[in-house]
A = this chain, B = another copy of it.
Amino acid sequence: MANWETEISSSGDNSKVRGIDLETVMDMPFSDAIFLILKGEKPTERESEIFNTILSSCIDHGIGNPSTVASRTVQSGGNSMNTSVAAGIMALGDKHGGAIEECMDLLQSETSAEKIVEKKLEAGEKIPGLGHKVYEKEDPRSMKMLETAEKLNLKGKYTEKMLKIHRIFGEEKTRLVLNVDGAIAGIMSDLSFEPELGKGFFIIARTPGLVAHVREEMEQPDFRRVNGDYIGD
C-alpha cells in the first residue's frame, strides 16, 4: 500500500504550500496562489497578469450549459451547497470544458500545425480551439487574451502553433474563429503547464459561478423538472 505523501502542502504548526509559509501565501493574490499550487513555483509579474486574465474569463457563462443545469437541478432536489456544486463540476466532462485539455495535448505533441490540420480534415473531425456557435468573425475573449499575451511578450511557440493551425484551416477549409479554448490552450502551454491540468484549470475558474448559481437556486420554491415523453411501447 502506497504511503500518503505529498509535495503540495502541510498542515499544523508550520503550514506550507509548495515550500512557502501559509502566512506568506495569504499575502499573495489568489490567482498567484493558484499558479503556485498547480505549478510549484510563483509566477513572474507578466505570468501573473495573463494567468489572472484567463481565470477571470471563465468564471461563468450563462444558465443553460450542462454544469449549471446539473448544479441547479441537484440543489433543487433538496441538497447542500457542496453536493450541488460537485454535481456541476461532474458535468465538466470531455465534451464540456474538455477542449482546453485536448487542444493543449495537440499543441504540445510533436505533430506540426500543417499535419494536424491535414489529419483532422481527413478524419472529418473538429479541431479543438476553432469555431464558436455565436461568434462568426472573432471571439472577443480570445482576441483580448492574445493581445494581452502579445503586450506582455508572452506569446510563445505554442500560441504561434495555434495561430498557424487557425490560419491553415481557414485557407484549406473554411474560416472559423479562434475560440477561447484555443487561446487558453496556447497561452497555458507557453506558460509550461501540462495538458493534464487543462481541465483542472477550468474547474477552478468556473467553481465561483457554480456557487453563485446554487445560491440563486435556493430561492426557487420547486424542484427542476423537464417535460419529457415516453416513446416506448
A166 interface hit (Cβ, 8 Å): no
- Complex CA distance for A211 and B10, rounded to whole angstroms: 16
Bitwise interface map of A from 207 to 228 toward B, beta carbon under 8 Å scored 1, else 0: 1110111111010111111111
Q: Is the CB of B63 within 8 A of A203?
A: no
Counting chain A residues whose Cβ lies within 8 A of the other chain, the interface size class is 35 or more
Interface-located stretch among A72-80, A117-125, A149-157: A72-80
Q: Is the CB of B10 within 8 A of A37?
A: no
A96 interface hit (Cβ, 8 Å): yes
Q: Which of B7, B60, B69 interacts with A9 by CB under 8 Å?
A: B60
A191 interface hit (Cβ, 8 Å): no
Task: Decide yes or no: A53 and B73 within 8 Å by CB, A38-B212, A228-B5, A228-B63 being known contacts.
Answer: no
Q: Which of B92, B223, B224 interacts with A77 by CB under 8 Å?
A: B92
**With contacts A11-B62, A27-B53, A79-B83 known, what are 4 further pairs, Cβ within 8 A?**
A6-B229, A8-B209, A30-B31, A37-B59
Name A's B-contacting residues (CB within 8 A). Answer: 1-13, 15-19, 22-23, 25-31, 33-34, 37-38, 52-53, 55-57, 59-67, 69-70, 72-74, 76-87, 89-98, 134-135, 140-141, 144-145, 196-197, 199-201, 203-205, 207-209, 211-216, 218, 220-233
22 contacts between A and B (CB under 8 A): A4-B63, A4-B226, A6-B213, A6-B232, A12-B134, A25-B56, A29-B52, A34-B59, A34-B208, A38-B208, A62-B230, A66-B73, A69-B69, A74-B93, A77-B91, A80-B199, A85-B200, A86-B87, A86-B90, A87-B87, A197-B211, A201-B211
